[in-house]
């Protein structure tokens, strides 16, 4: 008599767990987009957090000191990842981002934008423990809004050499997903 109920509850629990592990936050899951800009060139694209738009310019405080400016990275492909230390899918993605930053060091810059409310006192120990060597900066609300309001993390953007967003993913992705889009951006 209770077996069908138990089976339904198990299925509901598994679905909930799968959705929770896919992303942290209150936004809806979005599928990856890796198309090009809709305009004829980056200058004609709008600024914002959608594929085809020019990525919003930002300057943010680096972990360990100094500032990082997106404008200074023009000419390289940039992978920008909004994440937090408390987010399980974000932590699962960190080894992928580290590997990509090392394997494509001459052509790719990985930038992790921490969404942690505790700031550097929370993020610095995490970065040291995980031995992350890619750029890690602290977010501010203005940048979050310029990228379209980050509702779930991780949210990751791939920006081409001209500063145009060519890929966007919400939720955990495998290294292969990112790498395929990076290779495409590097070859164009």
Pairing of strands 24-25, 152-153: antiparallel
pLDDT at 129 over 60: yes
End-to-end CA distance of the chain: 61
Overall domain count for the chain: 1
| Element at 81 (helix H, strand E) | strand 77-83
Residue 16: pLDDT band with limits 50, 70, 90:
very low
Task: Provide the residue range defining the domain that includes 82.
Answer: 3-187
The CATH number given to whatever domain includes residue 130 is 3.40.30.10
What is the average pLDDT across 67-85?
Answer: 96
Widest CA span in the chain:
66
pLDDT at 26 over 90: no
pLDDT at 128 over 90: yes
In terms of pLDDT, which residue wins out, 35 or 173? 173
In this predicted model, what pLDDT tens digit does every residue of 83-101 receive, in sequence order? 999 999 999 999 999 999 9
Task: Give the length of the chain.
Answer: 188
Residue 170: pLDDT band with limits 50, 70, 90:
very high
Count CB-CB contacts under 10 A for residue 78. Answer: 22
Question: Average pLDDT of the chain?
Answer: 83
Return the active site residues: 87, 90
Residue 96: what pLDDT?
96
């Amino acid at each position: 008599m209770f077996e069908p109920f138990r089976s339904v509850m198990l299925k509901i629990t598994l679905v909930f767990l799968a959705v929770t592990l896919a992303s942290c936050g209150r936004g809806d899951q979005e599928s990856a987009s890796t198309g090009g800009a809709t305009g004829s060139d980056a200058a004609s694209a709008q600024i914002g957090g959608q594929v085809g738009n020019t990525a919003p310019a930002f300057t943010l405080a680096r972990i360990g000191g100094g500032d990082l400016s997106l404008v200074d990275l023009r000419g390289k492909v940039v992978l920008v990842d909004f994440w937090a230390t408390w987010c399980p899918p974000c932590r699962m993605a960190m080894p992928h981002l580290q590997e990509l930053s090392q394997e494509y060091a001459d052509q790719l810059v990985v930038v992790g934008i921490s969404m942690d409310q505790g700031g550097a006192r929370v993020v610095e120990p995490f970065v040291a423990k995980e031995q992350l060597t890619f750029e890690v900066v602290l977010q501010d609300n203005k940048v979050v809004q310029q990228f379209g309001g980050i509702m779930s993390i991780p949210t990751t953007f791939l920006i081409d050499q001209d500063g145009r967003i060519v890929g966007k993913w919400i939720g955990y992705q495998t290294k292969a997903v990112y790498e395929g889009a990076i290779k495409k951006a590097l070859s164009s």
